[in-house]
A and B are shown apart, each in its own frame.
Chain A
Amino acid sequence: MLSRRRAYVCRNAAGASQSPSERVSIEISIFTCFIQGSLMLSLWLNVVASGILMGLVYGLVALGLTIIFGVMRVVNFAHGEMVVFGVYIGYWSVRMWEVPIIAAAALAAAVMFVFGYFLEKLIVKRFVNSPHHYQFIVFIGLSLLFSGILLVAFGPDPRPTASQLSFRTVSIGILTLDLARLQAAGVAGLLIVMLGAYLKYSSFGRSLRAAANNRLGGLIVGLIIPRIYAITFGIGAACAGVAGALISPLFDAQPYLAMDFTLLAFVTVIVGGLGSFGGALLGGLTIGVAEAVAALMFSPSMKTALPYALLIIILIFRPRGFFGVREV
């Protein structure tokens, strides 16, 4: 839109004092310029837009990680596996029941919430007060265990979800976007807003924030900390699971994806600031756009490298991340 207006202004300015033939040739060259320019522009806009869309999904994954860390001071190294569980839930429910991906995401949310809740009750709670290196080992162990279970259950081969949705696109002006990506981003964005509102305004959300802010203070006023922790872990796992189900039309379901997602979630959270809600969202958007732009500017293989470069730059100039708290 902007470029078209600029080209129009150029043309008027150019046409003021030339002879008709010159004017035609200039108009043609400006026109090709305009076409090329607008092609480049639309390419860039498309890339940035799809980066933003993926960024919202990354934001949701990172939110799951950051909420668990913020409340429990526990780092979930098995977060990527939880995303992959979600991918498989999306994959199987679309294949077996041909449900829309949104229904699969709802199923993933429910299953992963219950999974996270009981994982906390059975295992994680025993290590909440342990030193960090104990927790580290426990979560790496869980992550290996979950990957192993996925391998045994589904085998190492990628399974393409390849639903109709994977190939559909939507055009908005000069933007042409994957429907699957748009839908994933829309649902992720909506969930982020809803979760934010729940934490901000509900009575349980208030207790959760209080426990995150001051655990001893929470014990003093009688908050049922174990219950808050189990629900928090459930919410975190559900965020990962939903995000996994939402992107199942875009990624082939494969157990080895987990490590990538864990690392990506970490980069996102650290860029945004550990334990910060807004930080997870902003970090997700930054990483999503950085990935997309890297693929366009350098080469697609740079796609995974740039977020880490960005991480290093941000750690140098702003070690707390965008919104990080000083004491973290």
Chain B
Amino acid sequence: MHDEALLSVDGLCLAYDGSNALNGVSLDIRKGELICVVGANGAGKTSLIRSIAGTIPASSGVVRMNGVDITRKPPWEICELGIAQVAEGRQIFGALSVEENLLVGAALKRAKAEQVNTLESVYALFGRLRERRRQLAGTLSGGEQQMLAIGRAIMSKPEIVMFDEPSIGLSPALTDVMFSVVKLLHEKGATILLVEQNVAKSLSLCNRGYVLENGSVVLHGSSEELLSNSEVQRAYLGM
């Protein structure tokens, strides 16, 4: 299982200011899978994504991409290997136009040559971004900014996309749109790691899931197993 995993995380620990944000998290994703990591606020979800992406270096543990250790690599080298993320808080470039945001997403060597085609496919996916391509990204609505963040991740022609709470701050209607976008990307062949607080929705979307609590994986299994687990039902689904 380890050998065929596209991305594997093994015993990842991360300490911030003396407290442990991650306490030996292990998970793996095979190519073409859609998995989710669910948990409450402060469970370590964002820390997990950031230490995989290299923006906050892990204190110990190993992250492998296609079997190669990438734990200590800087973020730009990790991006160059095809790990993209749609970050918490979107982190778009508000002072740049929508199109410039997308093109910056394709600044990597792996994506630059095909940026015109990729841009076209992002516009085909999100018509709204095409309409607003000359507009400053900071003037977009929350939902549009989220689409821009997703579009920007697609621009890097990634092997795997990590979503950090794509539904946060969006209305229920927009949340549904966002989940259907994630589903659509998966159906088009993308490998996706979805990190969510919205446990019911994300589990029903995914093949497998991990439940994170206080920086550790407390449960993992297929979505059906987790959804029918009494602990999950009690703690996250309010049953």
Within 8 A of B (CB), among A222-269: 222-225
Q: Which of B76, B96, B153 contacts A223 (CB 8 A)?
A: B76
Interface residue ranges of B102-142 to A (CB < 8 Å): 103-105, 107-108, 112
Of A207, A214, A225, most B-chain CB atoms within 10 Å: A214
Chain B's closest residue to A212 (CB) is B95
Task: Please tell me if the beta carbons of A220 and B85 are within 8 angstroms of each other in the complex.
Answer: yes
Range of interface residues on chain B?
Answer: 20 to 34
Decide if B179 is an interface residue (CB 8 Å cutoff).
Answer: no
Can you name the residue of chain A whose Cβ is closest to the Cβ of B80? Answer: A222
A221 touches B152 (CB 8 A): yes
Select one of B95, B104, B112 contacting A221, CB under 8 A: B104
A219 to chain B, nearest CB (A): 5
Known: A213-B96, A220-B53. A206 touches B104 (CB 8 A): yes
Q: Could you tell me the distance in whole angstroms from the C-beta of B68 to the nearest C-beta in chain A?
A: 17
Asked if B236 CB lies within 8 Å of chain A CBs, one says no
In the bound assembly, the distance between CA atoms of A214 and B192 in angstroms comes to: 25
Whether A221 lies near B156 (C-beta < 8 A) is yes
Which of B87, B93, B103 is A203 in contact with, Cβ under 8 Å? B103
Chain A: residues with Cβ within 8 Å of the partner, total of 17
B107 & A213 in contact (Cβ 8 Å cutoff) = no
Contacts of B84 in A (CB 8 A): 221
Q: Which residue of B87, B93, B103 has the most chain A CB atoms within 10 A of its CB atom?
A: B93
Shortest B86–chain A CB gap in Å is 9
Residue pair A210, B96 in contact (C-beta under 8 Å) = yes
**Contact indicator A209/B96 (Cβ below 8 Å):** yes
The answer to whether B91 touches A217 (Cβ under 8 A) is yes
Cα–Cα distance between A210 and B95 once the two chains are bound (Å): 8
Bound state CA distance, A50 and B236, in angstroms? 72
Q: Decide if B79 touches A222 in the complex (CB within 8 Å).
A: yes
Q: Which residues of A contact B36 (CB under 8 A)?
A: none
A274: shortest Cβ distance to chain B, in Å?
A: 14
Q: Is B92 within 8 A of A217, CB to CB?
A: yes
Q: A206-B100, A216-B55 are in contact. Are A222 and B95 (CB under 8 A)?
A: no
The digit string for A170-187, where 1 denotes a CB below 8 A from any CB of B, is 000000000000000000
Beta-carbon contact of B104 and A219 below 8 Å: no
Find chain A residues with CB under 8 A from B108 CB. 221-222
Q: Chain B's nearest CB lies how many Å from the CB of A327?
A: 11
Residues on A with beta carbons closer than 8 Å to the beta carbon of B112: 203
Whether the pair B96, A222 counts as a contact (CB closer than 8 A) is no
Whether the pair B104, A220 counts as a contact (CB closer than 8 A) is no
Cα separation A206 to B106 with both chains bound (whole Å): 11
Given contacts A213-B93, A213-B95, contact A223 B107 (CB under 8 A): yes
Closest-CB distance, A30 to chain B (whole angstroms): 56
Whether the pair A214, B91 counts as a contact (CB closer than 8 A) is yes
- B225 nearest CB across to chain A (Å): 33
A75 to B91, CA, bound (A): 25
A224 and B55 within 8 A (CB): no
Q: Is the CB of A221 within 8 A of B105?
A: yes
Minimum CB–CB distance for A289 against chain B, Å: 29
Cβ contact within 8 Å between A220 and B91:
yes
Q: Quote the shortest CB–CB distance from A49 to chain B (angstroms).
A: 34
> Which of B87, B103, B152 meets A206, CB within 8 Å?
B103
User: Do the beta carbons of B55 and A220 come within 8 Å of each other?
Assistant: yes
B199-214: which residues lie under 8 A (CB-CB) from chain A?
Answer: none
Q: Which residue numbers of B lie inside 8 Å of A, CB to CB?
A: 53, 55, 75-76, 78-80, 84-85, 87, 91-96, 100-101, 103-105, 107-108, 112, 152-153, 156
Can you list 8 pairs linking A and B with CB atoms under 8 Å apart? A210-B93, A210-B101, A216-B91, A219-B53, A220-B53, A221-B107, A222-B78, A223-B76
